[in-house]
Structure 1
Amino acid sequence: MSSNSRRRFIQGLGLSAIAAGSIYSCRRGIRYPTLGLEPNALASTFVNRGGSIEVDSADVIETTQTNNDRLTFRAFSAEPRLKVTAKEDGQAFIELGNVATDASLSWDGSQNDIEERVSGIRRSLTISMKKGDVQQLSWKLPYESDFTFASIGDSGGDKELAWCIQRAHELGAKFLLHLGDFNYQPGDYQRSIDLFNNSPIPCYVSIGNHDFHENGAIYQQFLEQIGPLNHSFTIGKTRFLNLDTAANTLPYSSGLRGKLVKEIQAQNSLVTDTVSFTHRPLHDPLHNSTHDIGSEGERDWLISALKMTGSSTLLSGHIHIYDRTEFHGIDNIIAGQGLGHQDLITRSDYSKIVIGRVSNDGSVNYTAEPLSMPMELHCHPRSQPVIDSLRQSNSADEYEELLNMIETSCASTQTTS
């Protein structure tokens, strides 16, 4: 079937789905109509179990509600803000994760006693407050420009993801934009959550098509442990915009994604550059699969939305390659090599991780750096077909020592299959 025929077929399927109601497709994750399967907006007001404090914030999700009075949050903004209101006299206990180690805390409110303990990207706060006190807390980075960040996707949720995070840190990235698909095998979801939470740098994650269906739709796990499906934050004059393309949408501009785009379009913003990141790319440079955004209408809407929000670059994964192509005025950079399969085939640092460098005026320049994943970390079940094909190839003798080393290493670490 030709590309155009395929698109017409998908669009025809969409029209049939509108007539029939909601249809869910594991292949493309189609949501019809009007995002009926989309979760509601995340809460922005949180109360601890004892009811002694209330926290308002648009920059965090609550990840755990325990039996004590401690509220536990994960930030999805680089410079999060919290408004804490005391309902009773006493101490407020707050855990806040995914905050850069070098971010500094400031507050604007009554003269309360505030203790902050920093452990990696996690902050533990103890605040002594009296009933009726209001405390505005905010974290500020020591830079607004002249910094780097990393971007990669399709890593699965095991040793390969751990390496992607470590490699980003080694390359001097202040944070990682993960482009989705960390969930390929049983156990990946919790392993990924643990790796994101214990990373040396903050991780902001775009949901992939593999990340919302595991024994059915599981958006809730993503929302409760990782972050919203659509959000944005700014550092200095640079905006970072996370857009959900894990599943097709009709109408294209509907739902929380469309609402976010409209809000940004309406802002009188002084940003110089907008870095947009998502899972599925605008186009498929391989021309022989269905690994693009899947609908010409949605693709064209997204291109228009990117331009209206000041974004000339879209970082995406989904296809397990590195590619950089100007597509209808958008610099679409595909960085889906988180499993590093091409390194096995070429026996070299073929796979890439993308580094963005923010200049003094807030604009961003991109380079592709070697992922340099150690060969002994290629233990993901998705690597097995690659290993098998190499063993059966005409060059099998050339790969024998390497493949034996990988299989021995993977067997010794008892990687989950």
Structure 2
Amino acid sequence: MQRKYILAGAAIICLVSGVLVITFFPSFPKRSPPHVTVSGAHILEKGDYNLALRAKSVNVSIHLVWNESEGHGCYSTTVTNIAADRIIPQSQSNLEINVLNETSIKIDVCTASEEVGIYLTMPPKSEFNFLVFGDSQGYQGGLNEIASIVEGNLPAFAFHCGDLTPFGQRHQYGEVYHALQNINIPVFTTAGNHDVRLDGGEIYEEIFGRSTYSFDYSNCHFAVVNSSNYTVPSDELNWLDRDLSASQKPLKFVFTHVPPFDPRPGSIHSMTNQTSANRLMDIVKKNNVSTVFTGHIHLYNSTVRNGTRYVISGGSGARLVADPQNGGFHHFINVTVSGSSVSMEPIELSTPAPNPQRIMIKNDNDALELSLQDIVSLPQIEEYSSFQNNFGNWRGQGIYTGTTIANLIELVGDMTPGDILRIESSDGYSQNYSYSNVYPNSSWSELQGSMILAYFYNGTPIPEWDEGMRIAMLPPDGKYSNDDCLATSCPGMGCNVYLSAGARWVKYVASIEVIQDDA
């Protein structure tokens, strides 16, 4: 899709796709680069004569100021994450605008003026709808399904309430960025706790900008705040209070990742700073916020507290934490605004199909699904090893490459000495391990070595290596014997149940779960 048109002052002349448009500018000296200010968008890239933006609002303004009057000032701006077919550009100068695709345009200006303002706005409608979803966590199938569902009946825009990625790696952001683009409407985001792991917060801000912003559309005000660290910092709460107080719009919506309370009886998968949570709820009540949308808890829930509706939409791909009757279904929410009326409908998405090259990491409070590429991006260890089977024969001799089990479970939280680690294969086989297997002390390290999830064997990757992904023990001598296994198995586990070191090397790993001690 590509269209080109000329904006002459406030008049727009559309040129249909396929028609060659050539714009001639007279010969003139070129000015030095202008001073540039932007509102309503995140700067992706800035050069002397070009700018790339990702919109964080339906209203974007670009202000160019040249410090010299001779010659002409020329500048090119690409804006993504906008509704290209609905946006109206305005400027006092002539603009050449290329529509690159459904959510991107390129604006070129060449002017004798010393100052140019470019304003992009989406005309308001008294009735419109927008989408809310969260916690795709690296599963793009849900986002792709949303794109298919809304095609041909496009909402105004959408909000992703965080946990776009499993653990904030650049390739994970690249994958979700591409999936969001395919939805073909503006998608506004906030960072989740998974997105900021392993320095992922820096990458998030590089791509999406800060998770603190607001905008108006029609009779509504939309505000986003950052709770990716299980709290909203006091300076952001102060900003939110001022922002909501200043808005005269009758309908106000707030978006963040972690909910201020867990609506499930006896559960506390919510903000950990209760002072921050209480203040957030006080602010939204004082400012008559219609609805607070969050993610984080992998279900759908709508609860009214102190006169404010709190809606959790954490089901666009992550592992669910409730049965369907209690909101445990994959979904997005279609929100319809009609005058002063707001209605919401959760739209069910397909359950993600099992994938032999993806592994579920989980504990009582959190879960995420990792692809092979995700796992390969973690710190790597490579050593020779082998094991004894129940007959005392040596098997599996070779070089194993993988990442430690400790690296994996730390993505969903800590393991404590009383916890049990359960590893299951895709064929239903399972083994239980202790804290000391995952974090061996010096004596266990001599017998067992590091416990890893291996994805290469003698340099052969999956699926060519047809036993992976596989648990491997890497003792210093390269031999994990039955005696070693017996000495590194807690009561009721491992070689105390079945004397085979090889039985501990689970093949076709499908899930790794920390079962937390209730004591």
Q: Equivalent residues in 2 for 1:244-259 (5 A)?
A: 244-249=226-231, 254-259=234-239
Structure 1 residue 151: Cα displacement: 0.7
Structure 1 residue 387: Cα displacement: 12
Task: Name the CA distance, whole Å, in 2 between partners of 1:72 and 1:79.
Answer: 16
Equivalent in the alignment of 1:191: 175
Deviation readout 1:39-67 (Å, 9 max, x if unpaired): xxxxxxxxxxx95223222211111245x
Structure 1 residue 370: Cα displacement: 1.0
**Alpha carbons of 1:211 and 1:243: their partners in 2 closer, same or farther (altered >3 Å)?**
same
Task: Name the CA distance, whole Å, in 1 between partners of 2:290 and 2:298.
Answer: 22
Equivalent in the alignment of 1:329: 307
Equivalent in the alignment of 2:298: 320
Contact 2:220 2:250 (C-alpha < 8 Å) held by counterparts: yes
**Alpha carbons of 1:327 and 1:345: their partners in 2 closer, same or farther (altered >3 Å)?**
closer
**Alpha carbons of 1:339 and 1:257: their partners in 2 closer, same or farther (altered >3 Å)?**
same
Task: Name the CA distance, whole Å, in 2 between partners of 1:380 and 1:356.
Answer: 33
Q: Is 1:105 aligned to residue 83 of structure 2? A: no
Deviation readout 1:142-191 (Å, 9 max, x if unpaired): 33331111111110134235326415634743222101011205531222
Find the partner of 1:114 among 68, 79, 96.
Answer: 96
Equivalent in the alignment of 1:277: 255
Q: Is 1:177 aligned to residue 159 of structure 2? A: yes
Q: Which runs of 4+ in 1 moved over 6 A?
A: 343-346, 376-379, 383-387
Deviation readout 1:84-109 (Å, 9 max, x if unpaired): 22456242111111111333333242
Corresponding letter in the other structure for 1:169 = V
Corresponding letter in the other structure for 1:202 = P
Please give the secondary structure, in 1, of the residue aligned with 2:241: helix
Task: Name the CA distance, whole Å, in 1 between partners of 2:358 and 2:221.
Answer: 34
Q: Is 1:356 aligned to residue 331 of structure 2? A: no
Contact 2:214 2:221 (C-alpha < 8 Å) held by counterparts: yes
Equivalent in the alignment of 1:135: 116
Q: Equivalent residues in 2 for 1:88-237 (5 A)?
A: 89-109=72-92, 111-130=93-112, 132=114, 134-160=115-141, 162-163=143-144, 165-166=146-147, 169-170=150-151, 172-185=154-167, 186=169, 187-214=171-198, 216=199, 218-237=200-219
Q: Name the count of aligned residue pairs.
A: 338
Task: Name the CA distance, whole Å, in 2 between partners of 1:168 and 1:247.
Answer: 33
**Alpha carbons of 1:243 and 1:81: their partners in 2 closer, same or farther (altered >3 Å)?**
same
Task: Name the CA distance, whole Å, in 1 between partners of 2:330 and 2:262.
Answer: 18
Task: Name the CA distance, whole Å, in 1 between partners of 2:336 and 2:356.
Answer: 29
Contact 1:155 1:339 (C-alpha < 8 Å) held by counterparts: yes
Task: Name the CA distance, whole Å, in 1 between partners of 2:38 and 2:369.
Answer: 44
Please give the secondary structure, in 2, of the residue aligned with 1:63: strand
Structure 1 residue 73: Cα displacement: 0.7
Give the TM-score of the pair, scaled to structure 2. Answer: 0.58
RMSD of Structure 2 on Structure 1 (CA): 3.6
**Alpha carbons of 1:70 and 1:274: their partners in 2 closer, same or farther (altered >3 Å)?**
same
Structure 1 residue 201: Cα displacement: 1.0
Please give the secondary structure, in 2, of the residue aligned with 1:381: strand
**Alpha carbons of 1:344 and 1:146: their partners in 2 closer, same or farther (altered >3 Å)?**
same
Contact 2:88 2:123 (C-alpha < 8 Å) held by counterparts: no
Find the partner of 2:279 among 284, 301, 308.
Answer: 301
Contact 1:100 1:121 (C-alpha < 8 Å) held by counterparts: yes
Q: Is 1:286 aligned to residue 269 of structure 2? A: no
Corresponding letter in the other structure for 1:356 = V
- Write 1 or 2 for the structure with the bigger share of strand: 2
Please give the secondary structure, in 2, of the residue aligned with 1:103: coil
Find the partner of 1:62 among 43, 51, 55.
Answer: 43
Structure 1 residue 220: Cα displacement: 2.9
- Write 1 or 2 for the structure with the bigger share of helix: 1
Corresponding letter in the other structure for 1:77 = S
Q: State the structure with more CA Rg.
A: 2
Please give the secondary structure, in 1, of the residue aligned with 2:176: helix
Contact 2:143 2:179 (C-alpha < 8 Å) held by counterparts: yes
Corresponding letter in the other structure for 1:201 = I
Contact 2:132 2:333 (C-alpha < 8 Å) held by counterparts: yes
Task: Name the CA distance, whole Å, in 2 between partners of 1:377 and 1:344.
Answer: 22
Structure 1 residue 211: Cα displacement: 1.4
Point out where structure 1 has 5 or more consecutive residues left out of the alignment.
Answer: 1-49, 394-409
Q: Which structure carries more relative contact order (alpha carbon 8 Å, separation 6+)?
A: 1
**Alpha carbons of 1:108 and 1:384: their partners in 2 closer, same or farther (altered >3 Å)?**
closer
Give the TM-score of the pair, scaled to structure 1. Answer: 0.71
Task: Name the CA distance, whole Å, in 2 between partners of 1:198 and 1:54.
Answer: 33
Corresponding letter in the other structure for 1:367 = E
Name the % identity. 21
Contact 1:343 1:350 (C-alpha < 8 Å) held by counterparts: no
Structure 1 residue 274: Cα displacement: 0.7
Find the partner of 1:80 among 45, 60, 68.
Answer: 60
Structure 1 residue 373: Cα displacement: 5.2
Deviation readout 1:244-289 (Å, 9 max, x if unpaired): 122245xx77223422322331x2x431211111101122133444
